A and B are shown apart, each in its own frame.
Chain A
């Protein structure tokens, strides 16, 4: 007997019982929502913080218990920053968000009433307990002689970077190139358009690009988060890749925020302390250990701090802030779309 996907072979209707079954089925769906208990905390984060938050959660649990509290149960969820923000907008009950871009948390503030619009001023350093920057990862010995952004436009150079439409990190890559062109008196739009002509693969996320570059052997240079670049070097072999720091890069500030709408009186102290302690010397030392450029070096291993070379870093304010940059460059029909329409 064949089953046709569209046309049922037989159709009749005996509606006795039908309605009851539908009602029962729907009633089963509308069960009570699970209640958050005092000792649990859900931190919704983005991809490259996986290793850092594993260490920080362990450290923070100890610290919280030492303050005379019961042991908390902290869970961290990782994924693409935009997708994580959407999950919170759509109702994922995160008490704390630690995302890649302020614009993603802005979207939560704009589309819901979960947190106030001025969330970014509630914690020091624009709510960014740690920062990062964009560097180049090149093949061992730097065979193409890549020193700075201008070298990426050489004829035989292939550049790997993810799609700025789907990856937060890729937006920083794009902005860093834009900033370099501006700093050096070049036409930034033309420079960035030329740069993307050298990109053979646009992965959807930063980890995907790292895989394409490191495992698949595609491209001569990977534009990467500094912590991703160090991770690639450590995991995949120091004899395979070199890190090149360009003359101009960006000050990426991955922000953190309390999601007030998902807090109860019982878990507010825990969530507040969780974010505040990110600025403690011990947590800052952990951030340095995981290749983030944090602020407070007092407890950090000097070797962890010393491995970051000085670089001129442009902050998002230098580009006009996310509220302006996001629609102008990465919105529908924005400059990034125009680059590909022109080709």
Chain B
């Protein structure tokens, strides 16, 4: 990996470097860094690593963490595949109602997550529209099971993949696909060797964003999950339970556990991204 030289001077001829850097640092500090530091401070200095480990190292906490990350991963992989397909359709084809569908992709951003949770539960509950049909046809229960959590997280994460991949698809040169075809590549080979590699970095970014978003999702999930300890209890709910007990330290411990797992995952995704970008050359 080559590192750029670390410059203490303005890298562009444009003025305002110091000011813009200051604004960036202030905003980031006030909104992100200081609260995060306070969280870590409270956990490691105020509470102590051994005490935190004792809070986290219990079967119920592990099963909630496993559920949260498993459901987020499954939902994000689903979003990765279908989000890319959806973005492809939206960019490459013309059909009636395209603009409406394009706008509808953003709805999960706009809707309060509690509303989404209630709406999804209403539809997927055993007496709801899909819920009743799925139950009758396959004996499949969706609401109040892990399946329900997946669906809520797919809903929440979908726009992240679509919106990061869409502009990249718009910029793909169709001529490369045509060139690939005229050189005798099959459609599948064109897809796997020409189209998908250009999309990989963007798709991974979308995947990482969707994953990060769904791991911490609380509002919509608590309505559709049954919240049964060890079965459908998500880690954010455990944090809320700790707060209800006025046990701020316990809440901080679980929060830091989630934070470290998320950070490690995002780090790995970023490394994969860097590797894929290097393999692609300078994209």
Name A residues whose Cβ lies closer than 8 Å to a Cβ of B. 2-7, 10-22, 24-26, 29, 80, 82-83, 86, 89, 107, 111, 163, 165-166, 199-204, 208, 211, 215-218, 330-332, 337, 340-341, 343
A21 interface neighbour in B23, B60, B202, Cβ under 8 Å: B23
CB distance from B65 to the nearest CB of A (A): 16
A215 interface neighbour in B7, B29, B122, B226, Cβ under 8 Å: B122
Q: Which residues of B contact A332 (CB under 8 A)?
A: 242, 245, 247, 250
Question: What is the interface of chain B mostly: helix, strand, loop, or mixed?
Answer: helix
Residue on B nearest A111 in the bound complex, by CB = B246
- Pick 23 A–B contacts, CB within 8 A, sort by A: A2-B168, A4-B273, A4-B274, A11-B4, A12-B6, A12-B10, A13-B21, A17-B22, A22-B22, A83-B244, A86-B246, A89-B246, A199-B228, A201-B226, A202-B229, A204-B227, A208-B222, A208-B223, A215-B122, A216-B121, A217-B127, A332-B245, A340-B60
Q: Which residues of A contact B245 (CB under 8 A)?
A: 165, 330-332
Residue on B nearest A107 in the bound complex, by CB = B246
CB distance from B23 to the nearest CB of A (A): 5
B143: interface (CB < 8 Å): yes
Q: Which residues of B contact A216 (CB under 8 A)?
A: 121-122, 125-128, 143
Q: Is there contact, CB below 8 Å, between B21 and A14? A: yes
B27: interface (CB < 8 Å): yes
Q: Is there contact, CB below 8 Å, between A341 and B59? A: yes
Bound state CA distance, A82 and B246, in angstroms? 8
Q: How many A-B residue pairs have CB under 8 A?
A: 139
**Of B71-79, B97-105, B186-194, B204-212, which stretch is located at the interface?**
B204-212
B270 interface neighbour in A6, A14, A218, A331, Cβ under 8 Å: A6
Residue on A nearest B118 in the bound complex, by CB = A211
Q: Is there contact, CB below 8 Å, between B122 and A22? A: no
Q: Is there contact, CB below 8 Å, between B22 and A20? A: yes
**Of B11-19, B42-50, B81-89, B176-184, which stretch is located at the interface?**
B11-19
Q: How many chain B residues have a CB neighbour from A under 8 Å?
A: 59
B241: interface (CB < 8 Å): yes
Residue on A nearest B230 in the bound complex, by CB = A340
B90: interface (CB < 8 Å): no
B26 interface neighbour in A5, A21, A200, Cβ under 8 Å: A21
Q: Which residues of B contact A14 (CB under 8 A)?
A: 8-10, 17-18, 21
Q: Is there contact, CB below 8 Å, between B60 and A341? A: yes
Q: Is there contact, CB below 8 Å, between B202 and A2? A: yes
Q: Is there contact, CB below 8 Å, between B26 and A25? A: yes
B140: interface (CB < 8 Å): no
CB distance from A322 to the nearest CB of B (A): 13
B240: interface (CB < 8 Å): yes
B144: interface (CB < 8 Å): yes
B37: interface (CB < 8 Å): no
Known: A14-B17, A340-B230. A218 touches B25 (CB 8 A): no
Residues facing A in B98-136 (CB within 8 A) are 118, 121-122, 125-128
Known: A26-B30, A163-B241. A17 touches B19 (CB 8 A): yes
Which of the listed residues A10, A20, A21 has the most CB atoms from chain B within 10 Å of its own CB?
A21
